[in-house]
Every structure is written in C-alpha cells, then in structure tokens.
Amino acid sequence: WWILKKYFEAGLIYEGHKIMPYCSRCGTPLASHEVSQGYKDETINSIYVRMKVVGREGEYFLVWTTTPWTLPSNVALAINPDFTYVKARRPEDERLYILVKERV
C-alpha cells in the first residue's frame, strides 16, 4: 500500500471508472487480449525435469513446466500438502521419483 500511496501522490495513478468485460464463471474481469483473441486450442511446449531432493541420495521430484527458461533461477519447489505423493522407480536406473499419486 505504501508504493500505491507514493504513486498517487506523484500523480502517476488515479482513481477512475472503466467498463470491463467480466467472466461470471471465473469471477474475474477479462483482459483485453482474452476478449479480442477469442478461444482457440493451442499446442504449448513443455518439459519434464527432475529436481534432486536435498539430503536424500538418488531421490528426485519429477516436475512439469511450461516455462523452462525460469529453471536456472529456481531456488525452491512448491509441494501441495493436500496431495498424496508416491515414490516410483524406473527400470532403467536406480533413481526414485516422487510423483503425485493421481498422476501415476
């Protein structure tokens, strides 16, 4: 809130009104590109990578991402405590992969 106040005092932002298209299903306003481009199926490039579990030799999380260019800056992996995880071993090696149970 501090930065918004500073911007407002500098005249960089203002309070106003604008009619926005609204998605009642999502409960959010739509961006202009969502309205102008319409819906279409797209093929998105993605990759799977393994991330080593710290302190556990030979154990890895199998991670899927559509933004591989962000991988060099990753310092943590978010794990959902509501998911059930299992360990799976590939026949080709001795590594253990930790996966969400419903995705196996």
Which candidate, 67, 104, 99, 65, places its Cα nearest to that of 80?
99
Average pLDDT along the chain: 88
Same domain flag for 51 and 98:
yes
- DSSP 8-state assignment for residue 12: S
pLDDT band per the 50, 70, 90 thresholds, residue 43:
confident
Same domain flag for 93 and 52:
yes
Over the stretch 45-61, which tens digit does the pLDDT of each residue have? 899 999 999 999 999 99
67 assigned to some structural domain:
yes
CA distance 46 to 43: 9
Answer with the residue of higher pLDDT: 11 or 41. Answer: 11
Name residue, tokens 């959902």. 80
Same domain flag for 31 and 68:
no
Range of the domain at 74: 47-103
What are the C-alpha distances in Å from 94 to residues 21, 55, 60?
A: 53, 17, 11
Over the stretch 63-77, which tens digit does the pLDDT of each residue have? 888 888 888 888 889
* pTM: predicted TM-score of the whole model, two decimal places: 0.56
> Could you give the maximum distance between any two Cα atoms of the chain, in Å?
63
Same domain flag for 65 and 28:
no
Count of domains for the chain: 2
